[in-house]
Amino acid sequence: MRLSLSPEPAATAARSSLGVVPLVCRNCGAAHDAAPVAICDQCLGPVEPVYDPARTLPDRATIAARSPSLWRYHEWLPIIGEPLHSPDTGCTPLVEAPRLARRLGIARAWIKNDTVSHPSLSFKDRVVTTAINAAAAFGIRTIGCASTGNLANAVAAHAARAGLDAWIFIPHDLELGKVAATAIFAPRLVRVRGTYDDVNRLCAQAADRFGWGIVNVNLRAYYGEGSKTMAFEIAEQLGWRLPSAVIAPMAGGSLVTKLRKGFGEFLDAGLVQGALPRIFGAQASGCAPIARLVERGDDELVPEIPRTIARSSAIGNPPDGRSAARIIRDTGGWAEHVSDEALVAGIHTLAEDCGIFAETAGGTTVAGALALARAGRLTPDDELVLCITGHGLKTLEAVGDVAASAPVIEPRLRDVAALAARADTRSAS
Ligand SMILES: *Cc1c(COP(=O)(O)O)cnc(C)c1O
Ligand SMILES: [Zn+2]
């Protein structure tokens, strides 16, 4: 692997046939050329990609005939031309969950199952797919991230395949599964003594100093757009219609805002009709700055120091927290926060009702949906999609004691018979 500490030239223009759409400031509206920049140089507001309103958009049949990856929606993604990397991420299953729907007291429920996302088993594959191609278009040879775990897995995996160098910064005490599933790809993995917010600050400084493409810092505008594909897939997989409600876990708050944007873009394109779904968010109580902002109803996010086992969503000062809260309120949704015990119970419920093993963020989402149902925020005619964003094998610590419930026997039929008899009395009682 090529390792280089020397500064790379600041890249601002596309260097291959691959192009990137320009940016606009979400705050002051200033237009910016396509560039690896995080913020507007006029007002320091966040920038986002702008698309040519005159571009030709595909119809349902055209999209449906394309290959099963998130690039089937490329007209709504910020990369122009044939993507150079990660051609096969996206199109995860949408699975109906009738038992969960009964438990929630609603008409229908589906799991958008990004636990089986290719290649790194979380929805972060979507955002890295757009960011790594933006990096390629800018001629950036070293990418990186500040991560709570899943983004580290995704950047390391996508960079390995693309043959790019990767510098990955994580809090020093992440779950073993997350660390191993990053280190295996042999990136430059750095464990930082501090919270995610400390890691993020350090990473932003390193990006400036060394000219790296940090996917969730200076490539963030391009990164975020990848999340919209979750909304596009939900709409297409439901038969080109929208659910009445959707719930997602929140870390930096980006996914929730991009679900809203994705549904909106499909409505604008006439690919689906009807009302925007109500958008709900879930966080663990030990780090719930966005949910508490929604509860308070004001516009000032109060940063928190994370204390929860839901490490993947433990961002105390979420960059998109205020826009996430605004979108949740504007769509008529709500945000719940749940205890660590409740989110572990949520992991078990999802596994036992749906046969899907999710990490702590998935448990948070299921527990959040149950809390919404108890609070009367879901209605009997609701059709809810639960975005389940990462695989349970990544956070075994959360449920490790389940293994102890399996009895150990000698290889004798008599021992099985004894167990079967005991199970009979138990189910009869
Ligand atoms: C990153 C992440 C999220 C939420 O991401 P946002 O920063 O809010 O976009 C949700 N679930 C999992 C498993 C994640 O890794
Ligand atoms: Zn601006």
Name the residue of 92, 112, 123 to mutate for ligand 1: max ligand atoms within 8 A of Cβ. 123
Distance, CA of 217 to chain centre: 16
Distance CA 328, CA 324 (A): 6
Dist. CA 199 → ligand 1 center (Å)? 16
Beta carbon of 130 within 6 Å of any ligand 1 atom: no
Q: Which ligand lies nearest to the CA atom of residue 37 in the structure?
A: 2
All domains in the chain, ordered by first residue:
94-120+227-399 (3.40.50.1100)
Please tell me the total number of residues recorded for the chain in this structure: 429
Q: Are 22 and 50 in contact (CB under 8 A)?
A: yes
Q: In what order do the strands lie in the sheet with 165-171?
A: 188-192, 165-171, 142-146, 213-214
pLDDT tens for the 429 residues of the chain, in order: 333 344 444 444 444 589 999 999 999 999 999 999 989 999 999 999 999 999 999 999 999 999 999 999 999 999 999 999 999 999 999 999 999 999 999 999 999 999 999 999 999 999 999 999 999 999 999 999 999 999 999 999 999 999 999 999 999 999 999 999 999 999 999 999 999 999 999 999 998 899 999 999 999 999 999 999 999 999 999 999 999 999 999 999 999 999 999 999 999 999 999 999 999 999 999 999 999 999 999 999 999 999 999 999 999 999 999 999 999 999 999 999 999 999 999 999 999 999 999 999 999 999 999 999 999 999 999 999 999 999 999 999 999 888 888 999 999 999 999 999 988 877 665
pLDDT, position 16: 53
Dist. CA 227 → ligand 1 center (Å)? 10
Dist. CA 313 → ligand 1 center (Å)? 6
Provide the 10 A C-beta neighbour count for residue 327: 22
Q: Are 260 and 251 in contact (CB under 8 A)?
A: no
Q: Which ligand lies nearest to the CA atom of residue 122 in the structure?
A: 1
Beta carbon of 255 within 6 Å of any ligand 1 atom: yes
The 3-class secondary structure across the chain, one letter per residue, is CCCCCCCCCCCCCCCCCCEECCEEECCCCCEECCCCCCECCCCCCEEEECCCCCCCCCCHHHHHCCCCCHHHHHHHCCEECCCCCCCCCCCCCEEECHHHHHHHCCCEEEEEEHHHCCCCCECHHHHHHHHHHHHHHCCCCEEEEECCCHHHHHHHHHHHHHCCEEEEEEECCCCHHHHHHHHCCCCEEEEECCCHHHHHHHHHHHHHHHCCEECCCCCHHHHHHCCHHHHHHHHHHCCCCCCCEEEEECCCCHHHHHHHHHHHHHHHCCCCCCCCCEEEEEEEHHHCHHHHHHHHCCCCCCCCCCCCCCHHHCCCCCCCHHHHHHHHHHCCCCEEEECHHHHHHHHHHHHHHHCCCECHHHHHHHHHHHHHHHCCCCCCCCEEEEEECEEHHHHHHHCHHHHHHCCCCCCCHHHHHHHHHHHHHHHHC
Q: Which residue has the tokens 């006029």?
A: 42
What are the structure tokens assigned to 234, written together? 């939900």
The pTM of this model reads 0.94
What are the structure tokens assigned to 64, written together? 């449906």
Distance CA 143, CA 152 (A): 11
Name the residue of 92, 116, 124 to mutate for ligand 1: max ligand atoms within 8 A of Cβ. 124
Distance CA 213, CA 180 (A): 23
Distance CA 339, CA 286 (A): 7
Beta carbon of 78 within 6 Å of any ligand 1 atom: no
Distance, CA of 161 to chain centre: 21
Beta carbon of 230 within 6 Å of any ligand 1 atom: no
Q: Whose CA is nearest to atom 7 of ligand 1?
A: 252
Q: Whose CA is nearest to atom 11 of ligand 1?
A: 389
Beta carbon of 282 within 6 Å of any ligand 1 atom: no
Dist. CA 416 → ligand 1 center (Å)? 43
Beta carbon of 310 within 6 Å of any ligand 1 atom: no
Distance CA 357, CA 239 (A): 26
Name the residue of 312, 323, 343, 347 to mutate for ligand 1: max ligand atoms within 8 A of Cβ. 312
Dist. CA 148 → ligand 1 center (Å)? 9
Dist. CA 312 → ligand 1 center (Å)? 7
Beta carbon of 224 within 6 Å of any ligand 1 atom: no
Beta carbon of 86 within 6 Å of any ligand 1 atom: no
Name the residue of 127, 220, 255, 293 to mutate for ligand 1: max ligand atoms within 8 A of Cβ. 255
Beta carbon of 124 within 6 Å of any ligand 1 atom: yes
